[in-house]
Amino acid sequence: MNGQVLAPLPVLIPTIAAAATLFAGRRPRLQRTIAVLALAAVVAVCGALLYFADRDGTIAVQVGGWGQSVSGMGPLGITLVVDRLSAMMLLVSAIVLLAVVFYAIGQGIRDGDEHQPVSIFLPTYLVLSAGVCTAFLAGDLFNLFVGFEVLLAASFVLLTIGASTERVRAGIAYVMVSMVSSLIFLIGIALIYAATGTLNMAELSVRLDGVPAGTRTALFAVLIVAFGIKAAVFPLSAWLPDSYPTAPAPVTAVFAGLLTKVGVYAIIRAHSLLFPGGAMDRIMLVAALLTMLVGIFGAIAQSDIKRLLSFTLVSHIGYMVFGISLSSALGMAGAIYYVAHHIVVQTTLFLVVGLIERQAGASTLQRLGGLAAASPLLALVFFVPALNLGGIPPFSGFIGKVALLEAGSQDGSVLAWMLVGGSVVTSLLTLYVMARVWTKAFWRPRADAPEGNLSAASPSALLNDTEDIAYADRDDVGRMPVGMLIPTGALIAVGLTLTVLAGPIFAYTERAADEVLDRGRYISAVLGEVR
Amino acid sequence: MTYLVPLVLIGGLISAGVYLLLDRNLTRMLLGLLLAGNGVNLLILMVGGPSGNPPIRGRTSDGETITADPLAQGMILTAIVISMGIAAFVLALTYRSYRLSRAEEVANDAEDARVSKLSASALDEDQPEPDHHRDTDEPDELDALPGHEGSR
């Protein structure tokens, strides 16, 4: 048993399970069992992969044995690569995917989903999981493209599930922006293929060294634009707060946690493996600063919590780009730790908003109030991840930010210091935004809310197109279903684990960063020999 | 010169595609997506090397002996399949949008408009504001028959 056997499984298991759940469409109970078992298996496999990648070094699999078929051509077939970075991304994503599927199932069971088109929800969700895992495992650019397309196609369906007016409007914008970014990625692939004659990332990183510097930078720029749209980096981020908030809570949660981070992961790979030397670092640092500030200023203006969180999501992408574009080991380690932290905490917060919607029949601050008195448990469940996102000391958000600030001050350039300042301001404003939600939604009496007397008629579910009724006339909707509360609590626990085990985990991200910055190990693992 | 003509064609396709994508009309956006996609596919084909090479190793075709690059064609096939699937999905969305609102233009985000109006008048969200009811002329069920929309 070694890592090579396991490497294809995070893609294979969800794909097969997606087919199986599709066949079991008329038997919801069987469908749920298959989905949960498959995602639990993926968590186990990813845990084992992380162990093997940390112990034995980078694992490379040439699918179908199409490895070194022609000497000097590089691998011709699909290559899957697991190094410490991708193993960590895989494990965190798998845990989040499992927790969210429990949440979605818990919500579906409570709502009695026989009237809703949810028989496609679980298969699509599993396809999304397969796409995310493909992107993290991909060892060649075209396979990365295919991974992106798989997860995007699944996300289109999930975002427009139920196809209400609002979701169709948001879905159209999302589909168009995503497809444009895919086209730009495809242009990048074509140009890189023209310049080097290969798409295998390890072979590319060898051959791109021989490409003239100007051409290299141009190729890099094309990829950064494509990945920047997916990761929602500032000038390319306007699509995100527009499209995410309309989707059902579990869908928004998993999108917010994973999809943008796939873009960040691709930026890490392009920046360190394909185009080392930091040709775009200054531009990326400026973009990171603007992402942080514009995102958080946007969040301040919002009154709908889902939109507010979408803006903080954009804002915190800036931290990761900041760490990456410092091109230092500590910066990269901080960025990797921050990605893991942010996947967990952002997903948790969106799940909590789902709970708030059930409890209070609204997710906008205009209608919310008195939640701390109505449900102290809900208050606790919101409070911990909110402080975590704001970067209050014991939590993982603080640890990640400290690492990034330290890396920025180590760099010492004027631009890096500006980013350090920007990070601190953004962190404070995040705290302000979270405190505003806290005081309005949790502390003030509901009667003080301007529209506090209104409420959605039925709980937000997968198919969500309800009208407003008076808050007092609202039926009891199962305000804190256990099936939704437990996964949320589990993710909070995972977030706290990032604090409790911060020493070992940060040491791991430092090893991962070393490995990412030292391309030789990746190249020799894939190509077999050191060239 | 043999490279210039296809490159100009690709540039034309992509710029026409981008122009159409900037429209609000869904059908035009879809056409733009398809045009730009075909432009990119042609670009990949161009990148795969000059035309006329034999597709089978060890054969000659019209005096050419270098094997044609199968990878470029494989990538184009994949891209074509993906864009076909997405085109079908966009068409379904367009039809749904038409059924819901009798229009195939992308509407503005209502919440976005509300927030920007707030910031223009420097109000906090504590201030109540007129409630805009949505147009309720829409099907009750997902599978409502044509002509029965909003009849319940």
Which of B:50-109 have CB within 8 Å of A? 71-72, 75, 78-79, 82-83, 85-86, 89-90, 93, 96-97, 100-101, 106-107, 109
pLDDT digits (tens, 9 = 90+) for A304-358: 888 999 999 999 999 999 999 988 889 999 999 999 999 999 999 999 998 888 8
pLDDT digits (tens, 9 = 90+) for A59-108: 888 887 776 655 566 677 788 899 899 999 999 999 999 999 988 888 87
B89 with A156: CB under 8 angstroms?
A: yes
d(CA A365, CA A424): 26
Per-residue model confidence as pLDDT tens digits over A269-292: 999 888 888 788 889 999 999 999
Query: For residue range A485-507, what is the model confidence (pLDDT) as tens digits?
Result: 888 999 999 989 888 888 899 89
Report how far apart, in Å, the C-alpha atoms of B54 and of each of A73, A77, B68, B70, B102 are.
Answer: 19, 21, 6, 10, 53
The residues that bridge with A452 in the sheet, in sequence order, are: none
Q: How far is B43 from chain A (nearest CA, A)?
A: 7
Band of residue A463 on the pLDDT scale cut at 50, 70, 90: low
Neighboring chain A residues of B40 at a CB cutoff of 8 Å: 183, 186-187, 190
Instruction: Tally C-beta pairs within 8 A across A and B.
Output: 107
Hey, are the CB atoms on A142 and B36 less than 8 Å from each other?
no
* Among the listed residues B101, B93, B88, the one whose alpha carbon sits nearest the alpha carbon of residue B135: B101
- The pLDDT of residue A105 is 84
Give the confidence band of A220 by pLDDT, cuts at 50, 70, 90.
very high
- CB-based contact A468:A454 (threshold 8 Å): yes
Residue A520 banded pLDDT, cuts 50, 70, 90: confident
- What is the band of B141 on the pLDDT scale with cuts at 50, 70, 90? very low
Of the candidates A166, A176, A190, the beta carbon closest to that of B21 is on A176
Find chain A residues with C-beta within 8 A of B29's C-beta.
Answer: 172, 176
User: Which of A269, A121, A131 is CA-nearest to residue A204?
Assistant: A269
pLDDT tens for residues A41-61? 999 999 999 998 888 888 888
Kindly report the nearest CA distance between residue B62 and chain A, in angstroms.
24
Helices (H), A255-328: 260-269, 281-301, 305-325
What is the dihedral sign for C-alpha A266, A267, A270, A273? Answer: negative
C-beta of residue A288 within 8 angstroms of C-beta of residue A318:
yes
- Percent of chain B with pLDDT strictly greater than 90: 26
**Contact check, Cβ <8 Å, A173/B40:** no
Structure-token pair, residue A437: 């939600």
Whole-model pTM: value is 0.89
pLDDT of residue A235: 86
Across the interface, of B43, B48, B90, the residue whose CB is closest to A175 is: B90
pLDDT reported for residue A72: 62
The string of pLDDT tens digits covering residues A130-186 is 999 999 999 889 999 999 999 999 999 988 887 777 888 888 889 999 999 999 999
For residues A29-46, give the mean pLDDT: 91
- Closest residue in B to A179 (Cα) is B33
Q: Give chain A's radius of gyration (CA, Å).
A: 22
Closest by Cβ to A172, choosing from B97, B118, B128:
B97
By C-alpha distance, the chain A residue nearest B102 is A165
